[in-house]
Chains A and B, each alone.
Chain A
Amino acid sequence: MKEEGKHKKAKKYGMVINLDECTGCGACMVACMAENNVPFKEDESNKLDSIAWMRVYKLTNGKSYPEADICYLPRPCMHCEGDHGHSPCVSVCPATATDYSHETGIVSQIYTRCFGCRYCMGACPYHARYFNWWDPVWPEGSTKYLSPNVSPRMRGVVEKCSFCFHRYQLAMDKAYFEGRTELEEDEYQTSCTQACPAGAITFGDLNNPEHKVHQLAKPDNKHGGRPGNPNVFRLLERLGTNPKVYYMSSREWVRRAGDNYLDNEDFAKNYRR
């Protein structure tokens, strides 16, 4: 088994989100909540404590009427690889409750190990992590739709997007049962990817040149995975977090909004080889 694993090429699951096609409809957010047993409270309008593994942000170009423009940006966990798996959150977790998998490139979150210090939330530059300040409460009868594939969380732990890791496990189980060790591209897709009515999200193995994500992002692994496609960018590229979620937009102001560039800065240079 161990020998076999050695020869297998490591996967690097990632996402490309086409912001030209994203309509900001929020289906990804709800698909995620329904898939992952995400709880809800009576009032969710305080977005700082509203748990949303996937959150859609609204960007504006800062111009006045009628030159104003908006664009939506869905933000799951970026599953940062950092430098050889040193993602910002993994580096600070004192409990090994969150870890980087070199096999899949997915940053895990193990609720029963987490004791709620929230260092990881401080370390995450993307606000992708949420703390359970309260016990989740489902209204009477509503526990019936909870999925057995994802354990509901308790008060006092941190949670975040897992790239629907349970779907990977189920797909792998099926593959092993059928005597395979590799997955087809469409066998493992996240809930948000599947639900997106605009088809704006593409998910797959960034290391596999046959997968659409690789073809769209053209990641350069020698330079921290930065994209080779000029319309593709990542959030806070210059931090060196090496995120695995890529965004695509034909509008320059949107690509520029991906990091804190100075007004006259040539932001494209960060992507040039």
Chain B
Amino acid sequence: MKIGRRSFLSFVVGGAAGTAITPLPWKLTDDSSIWSQNWPWTPVPPDGEYSQSDSVCTLCPGGCGITVRKVDDRVVKIEGMKGHPINDGGLCLMGLSGLQLLYGPTRVKTPLKRVGKRGEGKWEKISWDEAISEVTKKLADIRSNGESHAVGSIVDSESGTVPNLFKRFLTAYGSPNFMTMPSIQDSYGMTLQLMHGVSAQAGFDAENADFILSFGSGIIDGWGSPVRMFKANSAWKANGKKVVQIEPRLSNTAAKSDKWIPIKPGTEAALALGLANVIITNSLDSKKISQSTGFESFKKLVQNEYSTDKVSKITGINSATIVSLAKNFARASKPLAICGKGQGSIPGNLNEFMAVHALNALVGNINEDGGVWAVTETDYIKWPELEMDSVAESGMQKERIDGAGSEYPHAKSLLNRLAEVINSGDGSLEVIFVSGANPLYSMPDSKAMKTAFDSIPFVVSFSSYMDETAGNADLILPNHVYLERYEDVPTLAGLSKPIVGLTRPVVKPQFNTKHVGDVVMLIAKALGGGMADAFPWESYEACLKETLGVKWDVLVKKGFEFNGDKCILEGDFNFYPEAMKSLSNFSPVSVEGSVISYPLILIPYDSIRLANGYIGDPPFAIKAVEDTVLKDKNSCVEINPKTGKELGLTEGRYAFLHTPRGKAKVKVHLYEGIMPGIVALPRGLGHTAYDKYLAGKGCNFNELIGPTEDPVSGLDAAWGIRARLTKV
């Protein structure tokens, strides 16, 4: 075609007109300006009046003081409370991300009744009246059939008013099945019971100790009251105190210690007794203790059975290291030994606890500065004596379903046995209440726990969040979260001086929730008779005020009560109680699985960045998890490069991790800080519930391991399980 003046002009005019008419260039200009400018849907947080309010964090048993910053009626930040005796301004990442639990998408906003199959996620919103009458009807039926002992409850701990309300409720109703989530406190409590004959928790004057010997306790991985331990650790560093960490993996605690001594897992008790032997043989023991009951038998035990050479063989630690460790420990002016692995969620082997406590006694640090003290259970709960009717009395005569108090006379609660008892048909429950706990996720062999729950006809959850247990319940009666309610928070987690804190409503309840204490009382009142009489209070708040008495005003004003006095660990110390007799013939804590099909050993590890109890990681916390722990949707396992080479596994490869209890797809992370032959998997991942920021990420360690009953306590002593890694 010839291009003339005419055709050129019509092309230009046509082009210009076309450009003007088509929306494309305008759209592009608009888009590019939008791209580089503020967008209307970018939120502009409204300003307002600033204020502050003090409260207590309840996301773990640590009991840190918090100060919340508010703008009008919105809470915009949680910070550590300055001047608080536990955390003095510092706060861990869970505490800092608490607002994502308050305002986040995982809240249960109103009472829910299941309409689909269990765990299907189909719910009907119901009113509180309907919800309470639903429970009441069920309980009244069971009680009139004389089956009152078939009702059980699982709560987070046994201290504080809310657990005690549950206990009182069950007692008045006629059921002994008050169960608590397991922790090392169970083992420490039992140790003091057996060796001192007192009912107390162990308290550690860690700040003042100058030689800390830790048998795998995650001092800076969340053991005890985490922020308090962080602070103690910094103080040790600043003042040149020594920390020795004994565990098979270079954890954060091991890396920060002065000496890391890898040990064959499950042999910690032997090491403690081997150290005791060196101390006694070299006459380094505290002279005042040698008069104690059982000292001679204890001496005989360690000298005959725990010679350095023998212990070296059992533990895999060389003899010179054992001897120098024992000498350094005994010669320190304020030595302190602690145990309870990782964050302390598994109670552990009772012999190990007793051996470690004997070691402390041997160096004479009980009731001394920098040593072991007692923390007595909360003494302010003095409710009127319960008047039990005949149903309650006969119900309370029945044996507990978990065998605590009967099969295992020293134990108070053995939730680790519940799944097996129910699944093997040795016992059954009609109703279970779950409050402040998530057993379907956090109990070992969580799949078996789910099977057990499936056979309980009526599961009631009091959870504020849609966790695994709530998701599998028949009825959810959502509690306020800690920022919306009053509640006492007694802190026992290893502190040498007891503290009681008070959470307070810093915001009004965001949703149609009710305080669990009020709900328990409403159910009791609806049941009428002796049940109603057992709860003479108008509301939970009235009950709390009356219970705390003079403490209430102090708590409301300050947020915590702390008199700064340590509690003496009383009772007659016995070096060698009957329960320790099995140590005369040492065998390591058994581990499930055969060596032939499972040549490796899987151990869990805890990280302060991963919550593994009732609370799951909020979005900020999961964001802070390293990519060598969680990558895409997979948990990473740590293995020694040597092990990796033997198995042909390289960094970042996918693999299947098999154990006798389950199988999971994982990513391989080669780590020089782990003993060859051992596989380490982080705890706290593999949730199936909560929100999309947490669910479906990684695998749950508890699906791969089962509980191992400690022969003395009945508590779970499993520290690992045999495993196999295969290429994908």
Chain A positions near chain B (C-beta within 8 angstroms): 20-21, 23-27, 29-31, 33-35, 37, 40, 42-47, 50, 52, 56, 58, 60, 63-66, 68-72, 112, 115-116, 135-136, 138-148, 151-156, 194-200
> What are 13 contact pairs spanning A and B, CB under 8 A?
A23-B230, A29-B93, A29-B623, A45-B630, A52-B623, A56-B624, A69-B255, A116-B36, A139-B105, A148-B48, A156-B36, A194-B80, A195-B80
CB contacts under 8 Å to A, within B67-107, are 71, 74-80, 87, 89-93, 96-97, 99-100, 102-105
User: Contacts of A154 on B, CB cut-off 8 Å?
Assistant: 37-39, 42
- A145 contacts B237, CB within 8 Å? no
CB contacts under 8 Å to A, within B31-49, are 35-39, 41-48
Instruction: Known contacts A30-B621, A71-B255; decide if A147 and B77 are in contact (CB<8 Å).
Output: yes
- B673 contacts A34, CB within 8 Å? no
Q: How far is the CB of B666 from chain A (nearest CB, A)?
A: 14
- Size of the B side of the interface (Cβ < 8 Å), in residues, is 79
User: Contacts of B227 on A, CB cut-off 8 Å?
Assistant: 197
Kindly state the separation between the CA atoms of A68 and B642 in the bound complex, as whole angstroms.
14
Q: How far is the CB of A127 from chain B (nearest CB, A)?
A: 14
Q: How far is the CB of B42 from chain A (nearest CB, A)?
A: 5
User: Contacts of B48 on A, CB cut-off 8 Å?
Assistant: 148
- A30 contacts B626, CB within 8 Å? no
- A44 contacts B90, CB within 8 Å? no
CB contacts under 8 Å to A, within B373-394, are none
- B45 contacts A37, CB within 8 Å? yes
Kindly state the separation between the CA atoms of A20 and B262 in the bound complex, as whole angstroms.
21
Total A-B residue pairs with C-beta atoms closer than 8 Å? Answer: 198
Kindly state the separation between the CA atoms of A90 and B626 in the bound complex, as whole angstroms.
30
User: Contacts of B233 on A, CB cut-off 8 Å?
Assistant: 21, 23, 198
Per-residue CB proximity of B223-258 to A under 8 Å, as 1/0? 000110011011001100000000000101001100
Q: How far is the CB of B344 from chain A (nearest CB, A)?
A: 16
Kindly state the separation between the CA atoms of A241 and B323 in the bound complex, as whole angstroms.
50
Q: Which of A58, A136, A142 is in CB contact (< 8 Å) with B626? A: A58
Q: How far is the CB of A159 from chain B (nearest CB, A)?
A: 13
Kindly state the separation between the CA atoms of A96 and B78 in the bound complex, as whole angstroms.
34
- B42 contacts A144, CB within 8 Å? no
Kindly state the separation between the CA atoms of A124 and B705 in the bound complex, as whole angstroms.
46
- Ordered nearest first, which 3 A-B pairs have the shortest CB separation? A197-B90, A68-B672, A146-B45
User: Contacts of B90 on A, CB cut-off 8 Å?
Assistant: 27, 195-199
B260 part of interface (Cβ distance < 8 Å): yes
Q: How far is the CB of A199 from chain B (nearest CB, A)?
A: 5
- Told that A142-B100, A197-B91 touch, could you supply 19 new A-B pairs with CB distance under 8 A? A20-B237, A24-B252, A27-B92, A29-B93, A34-B620, A44-B622, A44-B623, A52-B623, A60-B672, A64-B641, A66-B262, A140-B105, A143-B43, A144-B103, A148-B47, A151-B44, A154-B42, A197-B90, A198-B230
Q: How far is the CB of B585 from chain A (nearest CB, A)?
A: 30
Q: Which of A46, A70, A199 is in CB contact (< 8 Å) with B627? A: A46
Kindly state the separation between the CA atoms of A116 and B626 in the bound complex, as whole angstroms.
27
User: Contacts of A58 on B, CB cut-off 8 Å?
Assistant: 626, 628
Chain B positions near chain A (C-beta within 8 angstroms): 35-39, 41-48, 71, 74-80, 87, 89-93, 96-97, 99-100, 102-105, 220, 226-227, 230-231, 233-234, 237-238, 250, 252, 255-256, 260, 262, 510, 608-609, 619-628, 630-633, 640-642, 671-676, 691-693
Q: Which of A29, A63, A147, A153 is in CB contact (< 8 Å) with B672? A: A63
- B231 contacts A197, CB within 8 Å? yes
Instruction: Known contacts A194-B89, A197-B90; decide if A148 and B71 are in contact (CB<8 Å).
Output: yes
Which single residue of chain B is at the shortest CB-CB distance from A116? B36
Q: Which of A31, A44, A135, A196 is in CB contact (< 8 Å) with B41? A: A135
User: Contacts of B91 on A, CB cut-off 8 Å?
Assistant: 27, 31, 195, 197
- A45 contacts B632, CB within 8 Å? yes
Kindly state the separation between the CA atoms of A170 and B691 in the bound complex, as whole angstroms.
35
- B99 contacts A50, CB within 8 Å? no
